[in-house]
Amino acid sequence: MTLTTRAPGRVPAVVLALLAAPMALGMAAPPLVLPQAAGALGLTLGVVTWVVTTFGWAIAVGTPLLAGVQNRYGERAGLLVAGGLVLGGGLVTVTAPGLGSLLVGGALQGLGSAGFTTIAMSLAGSPRALGLVTASLATVGATAPLAGELVAGLLGWRAALALPVLSLAVLPLALRRTPATSPSRPPSPGVQGYGGRFDPGGAVALTGLVTALVFVPHAWHLAGGAAVLAALLLALRLRTRPDGFVPVTVIRVPRFLAASGLAFGLGVVNFGLLYALPGPLAAGTGWSGTAVGLAMTWPLLFGGLASYGVVAWTERLPFALSAALLAGLAATATVVALLGTAPPALLVAQGLASVAAASGQGVLAGRARAAVPEKDRPAAMGLFNLAYLLGTAFGPALVAG
């Protein structure tokens, strides 16, 4: 595996991977930490799970919003905005006196982390570099439950919920190698890019739709209606601004829609199992939280490491075959988790789900990006990541429900 893969004149792939990877800590570190937070705040575990839902909402919303900042002002500006959000969110989280502050801190960290990940994937100049970025997310996510438990023991549970700030360690390196504007897409006054007019109506409509969708698992009868209304408003906006925040030339591409839809499903399965399995594992074995975290590290780590090879292996396979293999892995993981009761079976299910999700993010992102016009690829990456990250919000919410 070559860690120095880079696009010409761009940030080294290893730096992009380290920039994006801490987002996985925000998604996967809380499962073993939330019981401590609930006890300290005097709340039920179901209520405190809103911290995870809020982070998932923020990365889902932040993905297209920060992609819009990147499109209009360039990658450097996007990195600076994302860095400010992560830093502010981390400070709010570690000083949070109650649940409200935790939700705000998690939202800010999620918005910034989404920006880092989207920009990192946009700057990846080859399928191998993109595979390294997505593999880093999966690999760090594999160790996240155990890392969260250990950090909580050393520094407290608030520090464990602020782990996404680690991405700031490599931000100076990324800024040093990132040009102020994209050499692959120069300013053009006629499009939603650098120099183009920002589309606030499209941004608001998409944010409303994502927000309603995130609430569907919690209150489907209200959020479902709100999602339909938001979708209608977004559709109307697309008619008046086809080249706006959500480019029509992207969402009319069947392969892009298929890749994004499958990525959402893979995210739901992977993160649903991540939050569903610690309880049965502890109950069936009597293990402590640290022991459960250590046990779950191995299947998640296997998925992350295997994904790099899977992304490279499927690079030349037909899209339909790649999609069928990924969907089959996720379906098998779900069946094993539902029918299995022994700890080894549950860990195998998590491993299969991890391979499918980590590989799918790399494989499907590359196919989705290649399917759209070059001028729309930053926006396409934002929308694709939005679909995958919606799965990270849906999975834990469905388990909590």
Please give the Cα distance from 261 to 184 (Å, whole number).
Answer: 27
Please give the Cα distance from 115 to 171 (Å, whole number).
Answer: 12
Report the pLDDT averaged over residues 146-175. 90
Write down the mean pLDDT value for the chain: 81
Q: Would you state the pLDDT for residue 271?
A: 83
Please give the Cα distance from 36 to 157 (Å, whole number).
Answer: 7
Whether pLDDT at 2 is above 50:
no
Q: Would you state the pLDDT for residue 5?
A: 40
Helix residue ranges per DSSP H, 50-162: 50-73, 75-94, 99-123, 127-155, 157-160
Please give the Cα distance from 286 to 353 (Å, whole number).
Answer: 24
Tokens of 75: 């990658």
- Give 313: exposed, middle or buried? Use CB within 10 Å, 0-12, 13-18, 19+: middle
Q: What are phi and psi of 28, to 5 degrees?
A: -110, -10
Please give the Cα distance from 180 to 173 (Å, whole number).
Answer: 14
**pLDDT of 193-242, one tens digit each?**
333 566 777 788 888 888 888 777 767 778 788 888 988 988 888 888 88
pTM of the model: 0.72
Please check whether residue 214 is in contact with residue 220, taking contact to mean a CB–CB distance below 8 angstroms.
Answer: no
Name the residue type at position 142: A
Please give the Cα distance from 58 to 114 (Å, whole number).
Answer: 8
> Distances from the Cα of 152 to the Cαs of 33, 138, 160, 300, in angstroms?
7, 21, 5, 20
Q: What are phi and psi of 57, to 5 degrees?
A: -60, -45
Q: Would you state the pLDDT for residue 188?
A: 34
CA atoms within 13 A of residue 330's CA, in its CB half-sphere: 24
Q: Would you state the pLDDT for residue 195?
A: 39
DSSP 196: S
Report the pLDDT averaged over residues 68-89. 87
Whether pLDDT at 54 is above 60:
yes
187 or 132, greater pLDDT = 132
**pLDDT tier, 331 (very low <50, low <70, confident <90, very high otherwise):** very high
**Residue closest to 388 by CA, chosen among 367, 365, 354, 355:** 365
Q: Would you state the pLDDT for residue 401?
A: 60
Percent of all residues in the chain with a pLDDT value above 90, rounded to a whole number? 15
> Distances from the Cα of 115 to the Cαs of 7, 25, 119, 363, in angstroms?
19, 15, 6, 20
**pLDDT of 236-295, one tens digit each?**
888 888 877 788 888 888 999 999 999 999 988 988 888 788 878 887 777 777 788 788
Whether pLDDT at 44 is above 60:
yes
Q: Would you state the pLDDT for residue 191?
A: 34
Please give the Cα distance from 82 to 168 (Å, whole number).
Answer: 10
Please give the Cα distance from 202 to 242 (Å, whole number).
Answer: 10
DSSP 168: G
Angle, CA of 57, 38 and 61, to the nearest 5°: 5
What DSSP element (H or E) covers 248?
helix 248-251
